[in-house]
């Protein structure tokens, strides 16, 4: 089994964290957003942190490369599963569809963020509302497959952790829909869920990198 570039998911997440942090810092410096503790107060969304100039330039320069790396990562995931003996006619196409399609949606959203006009707004809304469910489906499918194949991974807790994170984000998404119905102004709750859910997404990819590393190490020990 070839050793997959386990630092690639780390690099992708580092780009994402750096981009959001720099965009938020710039937006605060130029007083484009409210100053608050975003993970506690939920005063703004992630997109609001990088929606206006000059923050939007940093946002695009980091998040678009991150999403491109995610497309490569999901392509590698399918190859990796084949090497682990997963030959399903459903799993591979599903991961290609949802895993590669979801970062492409994120690229569309980031490319149009801050663009004026109703058509751009409609495309952004479609892209971002489709991105999270598509990415979530890919994460749950891959986590379940790894759980079934966990003897091939040194740390057997990894697939469980990946699955639990994906389920937790799913619960946040369901709660977001419920709050939209029951609250007069669910914006603060939505913002908090977005910050925490996106952070959980980042942790999931870090665990994926660890799974790549662990599987290659297990294979080296057995050969």
Domain segments of the chain as ranges:
7-216
pTM of the model: 0.90
pLDDT at 122: 94
The distance of Cα 134 from the centroid of its chain, to the nearest Å, equals 10
Q: Does the bond joining 54 to the residue before it have cis omega, within 30 degrees of 0?
A: yes
Taking each helix axis from N to C end, the angle separating 118-148 and 157-182, rounded to the nearest 10 degrees, works out to 150
From first to last of the 223 residues of the chain, give the pLDDT tens digit.
Answer: 466 688 899 999 999 999 999 999 999 999 999 889 999 999 999 999 999 999 999 999 999 999 999 999 999 999 888 887 787 778 888 998 999 999 999 999 999 998 888 999 999 999 988 998 899 999 999 999 988 876 555 567 888 999 999 999 989 888 888 888 888 888 888 899 999 999 999 999 999 999 888 876 655 555 5
> Could you count the other beta carbons within 10 Å of the beta carbon of residue 167?
14
Beta carbons within 10 angstroms of residue 75's beta carbon:
14
Q: Would you state the pLDDT for residue 87?
A: 75
Give the span between the Cα atoms of 87 and 180, in whole angstroms: 41
* pLDDT value of position 151: 59
- Dihedral sign for Cα 101, 107, 113, 116, please: negative
Q: Which of 85, 103, 101, 104 is nearest to 93 (CA)?
A: 101
Judged by DSSP in three states, 114 sits in coil
């Amino acid at each position: 089994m070839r050793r997959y570039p386990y630092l690639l998911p780390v690099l992708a997440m580092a780009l994402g964290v750096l981009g959001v942090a720099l965009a938020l810092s710039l937006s605060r410096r130029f007083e484009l957003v409210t100053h608050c503790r975003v993970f506690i107060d939920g005063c703004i969304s992630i997109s609001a942190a990088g929606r206006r100039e000059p923050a939007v330039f940093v946002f695009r320069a980091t998040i678009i490369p991150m999403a491109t790396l995610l497309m490569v990562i999901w392509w590698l995931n399918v190859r990796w599963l084949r090497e682990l003996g997963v030959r399903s006619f459903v799993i591979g196409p599903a991961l290609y569809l949802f895993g590669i399609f979801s970062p492409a949606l994120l690229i569309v959203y980031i490319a149009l963020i801050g663009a004026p006009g109703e058509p751009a707004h409609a495309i952004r809304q479609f892209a971002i509302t489709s991105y999270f469910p598509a990415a979530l489906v890919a994460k749950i499918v891959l986590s379940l497959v790894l759980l079934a194949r966990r003897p091939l991974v040194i740390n057997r807790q990894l697939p469980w952790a990946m699955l639990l994170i994906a389920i937790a984000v799913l619960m946040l998404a369901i709660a977001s829909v419920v709050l939209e119905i029951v609250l007069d102004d669910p914006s603060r709750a939505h913002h908090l869920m977005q910050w925490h859910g996106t952070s959980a997404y980042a942790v999931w990819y870090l665990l994926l990198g660890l799974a790549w590393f662990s599987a290659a190490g297990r294979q080296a020990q057995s050969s």
